[in-house]
Every structure is written in C-alpha cells, then in structure tokens.
Structure 1
Amino acid sequence: MPHARTAPALSLPIQDARERLRVLIRDLAVVRGRVVLSSGAEADHYVDLRRITLHHEAAPLVGRVMLDLLQREGLVPGIEAVGGLTLGADPVATSILHASAADPALASLNAFVVRKANKAHGLQRRIEGPEVAGRRVVAVEDTSTTGGSVLTACEALSQAGADIAAVAVIVHRADASRAAVEAAGHRYLAAYDISELEI
C-alpha cells in the first residue's frame, strides 16, 4: 500500500509545519522502556531524534522549524553558519542549511561539522566546512540531557575563533542542559520542550 502523501514541508505555513514535526517526533522518536543515556543517567524513555533528522518528511521540517526559531529569536539574519558535534548535530545543521537556501529572503547559512578529535591527516582540522574564525555561528544539537556534547562543540568553536551567538536544540529534554549551557555563557534555545511530546 503506498504511503499517504503529505504537504511538502516548504509549502506548509510555519505553524502547521511546527505541529506536523511535533507529531512526527511524538510518534516516531519516542522510545519507551528503560534506557541508559550517554550521560550515564537512566530514563524510562528515550527520544531518538535521529529517527527524525534522517527521515524523508521530518528532516525538511526540522530545517524550517529551527530556522524559524532562529528568526524569532533575532539571530537570522545575522549568523553565518550552524553546526555542532558529530554525529547528532550533522543532520540538524544540514536541514537548516537547506531551509535557508530555499528562502530567497534570507542570507544563506553555511553548515559545519565539529569532529570529536582533530583529524590526524590531511589538513588536520577539528571543524570541517567553511571557515568559522571571526564568524557569528549557532551551535546546534538534536537534544541534550547534560549539555556535554554541545559544550564540547562550543569549546572547539571558541578555540577556532568563532563568535557563538547561541546554542539551539530541537527538543529541550532536561534543565541540567540549559543550566550547563548558560553557565558556560551561552544563550540556550529550543524548538520544543519535552512536555510537548505527551510522553
């Protein structure tokens, strides 16, 4: 049986796009059952946002919703690139890049990838993509429990000379993450709160 066709992500009004993405996250990304998080903490559910950021319908919606968040928060236009620590941040940044390129009213954003360690050969770069030195950027992540991954990215960005305008996640999962990011001196933004997923 063929899949039901849905309105393309780029043609939906933003509020409809936001609601459709919320439903997809709720229905596809929430996994129930005891899990150990990367922080070592235990939870009775897991929000696997790679099931969203790598999904044919959801990924374009991620780009639109995250770009809208950055616009509403006064960061677009103004920032030049988005990215974060590989692997969770990569499809988020790519979705935002494509959403900005599709909107001729916006200055197109570049994306970058922060490696977990410096590459041992070639140019030996820690941050791949267009140069970030002297550029205003946003560090992105799909979700965060402790802030560890996105703060690792922020540390590398600072060392590379980037101006970090904010940290932005798709789903705000835990207050510890916001507290850690803000304690490090960064603005923290989220498109959705975990409470919106009806877990």
Structure 2
Amino acid sequence: MSTNDPQRARLAQLVRDLAVVRGTVTLASGLESDFYVDMRRATLHHEAAPLIGHVMIDMLEEEGLGTDVVDAVGGLTMGADPVATAMLHAAASRGLELDAFVVRKAAKDHGMKRRIEGPGVEGRRVVVLEDTSTTGGSPLEAVEALREAGAEVLAVAVVVDRATGARERIEAAGLPYLAALGLNDLGLE
C-alpha cells in the first residue's frame, strides 16, 4: 500500500494516538514487549474503525483480492470481529458485496453448535483477519477451522504487523500475509 495514501496515513496517526501503550507488557504469545498495541481502542473508535475498513479493502484490492475474488472476511473472535465488521460496512458504502464471519474458539454446545458464525463459508473464498498479530497463532487457528468448514482461504490480512514472527509462520503455512501498517508506520522501530 502506498505510503502516500492519506487514509492510511490518518489511520497510522490514529493507531499511534489511540492504541499504542508504552510500558512492559506480556503478550498473548508469552513474549515481553516494551509497548502494547491495544487495537480495540482503534477498531472500536468512531473515526478509526471506518478507516480500517477502507484501508483494508484497498490493501486487498491492490493485492488482487478485491470483492470480485473474495466472498467474505473474518477471523478468530475477538480481535478480528471489529475489523471484519468495518470491512463489511466499508464495502457496502462502495456498493460492493462482502460478507463477514466470526470464528469461535470452540463450537457452541447449544443451539446450532456452530464454530463459524455468519453467512455460511462452505465453498466460499475468504480472507482471515486479525487486528494485530504477534506469532500468527490466532489467524492460523481460524484458517484451520475455516478449511474444516469447506472454505477456501486466500490470505491472512492484519491491520498492524508487530514484526515478531507472524508473517514468517503464516507464509510457511503457504498463505500470503498482508499488513496495512507496520511498526515503522507507528514510530515503534
């Protein structure tokens, strides 16, 4: 994605201002970091969320994964949920068709007993999302569930790449890894 893109530049500024928290933290991966990117502060923000939807759609289109190729987006709950919703709304605002889905950590034990919520994914082309990824574990868990449900997973796309191994692990699994923002965009390198 072009560094001259004003929407991407504004999103980077909002993520820096809203989501970057300085201080020693232990990440979900167990790794320690001197900063944390609390993406819920951006993905659920009135200005940042719509920008996330548009920036992510633009990124997919630039990679040849527009709505003419991709049927639906989503990932493991909770990080992917607001990203998928933002993309669904951004697509609709452009007159495009893009569904969203949620992958539960485990299938429900009641009702429909589904692990993947939303429009069905069987036989559909999907992109797995994450707000920010450290090791790539969450997106890969979603990939496995989606493949079991009969979806064709085309790529993994994240809003922020922490440059801590997710790209390498996902690409080693044979999937393209796309990131809208990197640490340099957030002034963290």
TM-score normalized by the length of structure 1: 0.90
> What is the alpha-carbon distance in structure 2 between the residues aligned to residue 68 and residue 53 of structure 1?
17
Instruction: State whether structure 2 residue 132 is matched by structure 1 residue 143.
Output: yes
Q: Which amino acid aligns with 1:21?
A: L
> What is the alpha-carbon distance in structure 2 between the residues aligned to residue 135 and residue 35 of structure 1?
38
Aligned to 1:102: 93
> What is the alpha-carbon distance in structure 2 between the residues aligned to residue 177 and residue 15 of structure 1?
25
Matches within 5 A, 1:1-199: 15-76=5-66, 77-104=68-95, 106=96, 108-199=97-188
> What is the alpha-carbon distance in structure 2 between the residues aligned to residue 172 and residue 154 of structure 1?
18
Asked which structure has the greater CA Rg, the reply is: 1
Q: Which amino acid aligns with 2:10?
A: R
> What is the alpha-carbon distance in structure 2 between the residues aligned to residue 39 and residue 133 of structure 1?
30
Please list every run of 5 or more consecutive structure 2 residues that lacks an aligned counterpart in the other structure: none
> What is the alpha-carbon distance in structure 2 between the residues aligned to residue 159 and residue 186 of structure 1?
16
Structure 1 residue 175 displacement after superposition = 4.3
Classify the secondary structure of the residue corresponding to 1:117.
Answer: coil
Q: Which runs of 4+ in 1 moved over 3 A?
A: none
Over the residues paired in the alignment, what is the CA RMSD in angstroms?
Answer: 1.0
Please list every run of 5 or more consecutive structure 1 residues that lacks an aligned counterpart in the other structure: 1-13
Aligned to 1:11: none
Aligned to 1:7: none
Classify the secondary structure of the residue corresponding to 1:96.
Answer: helix
Aligned to 1:6: none
> What is the alpha-carbon distance in structure 1 between the residues aligned to residue 56 and residue 165 of structure 2?
21
- 1:91-117 per-residue CA deviation (whole Å, 9 max, x = no partner) reads 00000000000102x3x1000000000
> What is the alpha-carbon distance in structure 2 between the residues aligned to residue 172 and residue 99 of structure 1?
22
Q: Percent identity?
A: 62
TM-score normalized by the length of structure 2: 0.95
- 1:51-98 per-residue CA deviation (whole Å, 9 max, x = no partner) reads 000001110000000000011000002110000000000000000000
Q: When the two structures are aligned, how many residues end up with a matched partner?
A: 184
